[in-house]
Structure 1
Amino acid sequence: MGMISHRAHQLLRFGWLQARCCVFAFALVGGIAVSRLLPDDLPIARYDLVLVYGVLLAALARKVGWDSARDTAVIAGCHLIGLIFELVKVRMGSWSYPEQALTKVAGVPLYGGFLYAAVGSYVCRAWHLFDLRLDGYRPRMMAAIAGAVYVNFFSHHWLPDLRWALAALLVCATAGTWVRYRVGARHHRMPLALSFVLIGFFLWIAENIATYAGAWSYPDQLGGWQPVSVAKFGAWALLITVTFVLAAGQRRRTPQLS
């Protein structure tokens, strides 16, 4: 009975730490959801309001110490990479931002990058709160695969889609790589590839929530909200490698990587 109680306590503590990692994402999506409740005749467009809110939220995160200077650099990188991603995918019709706004460039509101910044914030916070360590990590190989994953999300519109081949390469590249993390005084570990799958699943859940809140819309959601395709789960499991490589790269000179 004592063992069951201990495991339940560890699970609750793990869940609480995960929730703390998601503070920025919760606040961002929550703000987007609240913005939909505002009157339509406001003098400023909703997307513009969300951009201002995102900037203030990022400044607050830095001010209260949620993010270090190193974390802020990673998050800013995620924001930029995300905006480039959005510009290409919206142009190709993968999804859209149907409302008007002053801060819209080529159909993409500038706040769109904050959705990727939120993922970067989660990874950086997890590194701190779970005291992450990596065993057997191959930084150059992972960087090459993450770069190929990012490019493939663009190139598959004109060239063959290589995501299954890249997924197989990712499994090979992460074979023998373990993520060590701490919950309370207890240390645990899991395969790095499994962590990508789990994060991808929860990002797919978050994407359903975000599209329901009106953050953006897929073509089949323009006539009314529909659940996001399960295929996006796999896409996120691959795309999270880009954020992870950025965050890990900022820590390569520390004893966190072995």
Structure 2
Amino acid sequence: MLDTPRETRFAQIRKRLESFEPRPGVYAWGYEFALFGLKQGWACLFGALMLALLVATHLFYPDGAALARYDFLTLAALAIQIAMLAFRLETWGEAKVILAFHVVGTVMELFKTAQGSWIYPEASVLRIGDVPLFSGFMYAAVGSYIARVWRIFDFRFTGYPPRWAAWLLAAAIYVNFFAHHWLPDIRLGLFAALFLLFARTRIWFTVWRTPRWMPLLLGWFLVALFIWFAENLGTFARAWTYPEQADGWSMVSPAKLGAWYLLMYISFVLVSWVARVRAPSPRSPTATAGRPLES
């Protein structure tokens, strides 16, 4: 289970913000919306800093520097991670998620670059094969966001399928990322399985006082869309490039959204390894909206 919110400094700030009493009506709605944006921004902190580094080093990193740009990015990402733990901006449970994503992402990167799916065009020392080590932190940023937003918004679920089925589907999706280079791509079947398993699943989240919900399938799509926008910035910064961008930057194909959606699902299931999939509290009005989940 992820560490409790009391273990991060932001929990103290969040408690003060949540105790504020604006005037009812439009003022309360506006405050809740602003609080939602603040919490989302905080959950995105690791990824936002990484994205800012990609763009800033693309624009301003000196040519011919003794330390290669990619190596600087690796060391900077490691420094951010250490600082977030040292200043209690992140929990150790979330750090474990980041490590798992780093390993899973690096394995995929090694395979995909060997297949020519994308390349890292700049030289570096801190790398494994053709993959600079900072790339693993890009996957870790996704894991960091999901783990943090899960805790900050106190995610609860109704209509969640059996955990073994969710893990089995995640494994099939991960294997297909590799196997489709030699075997038929079963991506459409995987999307169908996702829909069948999670069509009834709602994710409940608490921004301020009142639990609110959306279909979990929609939530994954919104996050995948955000990652696709971030990927466009990353390729613009030449952190990596796709074959069609060899002669100059162009927008990443919207078809990549499907791949990001599936990766978002894998990310979610990995985070559920350290965060409990819980039903709404028995005292909550949402408690009767779906069947109980395992603790």
User: What TM-score, normalized by structure 2, do the two folds share?
Assistant: 0.82
The 3 A distance-change label for structure 1 pair 241 and 175 is same
Alpha-carbon distance in 1 for matches of 2:38, 2:71: 32
Partner of residue 265, structure 2: 241
> Counterpart of 2:112 in 1: which secondary structure?
helix
Partner residue, 2:183: 159
Distance 1:164 1:55 in 2: 37
Structure 1 residue 3: Cα displacement = 4.8
1:48-67 correspondence to structure 2 within 5 Å: 48-67=71-90
User: How does 1:164-179 map onto structure 2 within 5 Å?
Assistant: 164-179=188-203
Whether the 8 Å contact between 1:66 and 1:125 is mirrored in structure 2 is no
Instruction: Look up the match of 1:25.
Output: 47
Runs of 4+ with deviation above 4 angstroms: 2-6, 253-258
**Structure 2 residue aligned with 1:124, among 141, 147, 169?**
147
CA RMSD of aligned residues (A): 1.8
2:272 is paired with a residue whose SS is helix
Give the number of equivalent residue pairs: 257
Deviation at 1:7, TM superposition (A): 3.7
The alignment status of 1:68 with 2:75, answered yes or no, reads: no
1:58-207 equivalences in 2 (<5 Å): 58-137=81-160, 138-207=162-231
Determine if contact 2:120/2:131 at 8 Å carries over to the other structure: yes
CA distance in 2, matches of 1:209, 1:44: 23
Q: What is the rounded CA distance, in whole Å, between the counterparts of 1:227 and 1:4 in structure 2?
A: 39
Equivalent pair of 2:156/2:277 in contact (CA under 8 Å)? no
Letter of the 1:95 counterpart = W
Please state if 1:250 is matched with 2:274: yes
- Compare CA radii of gyration and give the structure with the larger one: 2
Q: 5 Å matches for 1:221-240?
A: 221-240=245-264
- Equivalent residues of 2:158, 2:279 under 8 A apart: no
Q: What stretches of structure 1 of length at least 5 have no aligned partner? A: none
Give how far 1:255 is off. Answer: 7.2
Q: What is the letter of the counterpart of residue 107 of structure 1?
A: D
What SS class does the counterpart of residue 249 from structure 1 fall into?
A: coil
How far does the alpha carbon of each residue in 1:118-161 deviate from its partner, in whole angstroms, 9 at most, with x for none? 00010011012111112232321111111111111111111111
- The 3-state SS of whatever aligns with 2:147 is helix
Matched to 1:35, the amino acid is T
Query: Residues 139 and 245 of structure 1 are in contact (CA less than 8 Å); yes or no, is this contact kept in structure 2?
Result: no
- Following superposition, the deviation at residue 5 of structure 1 comes to 4.9
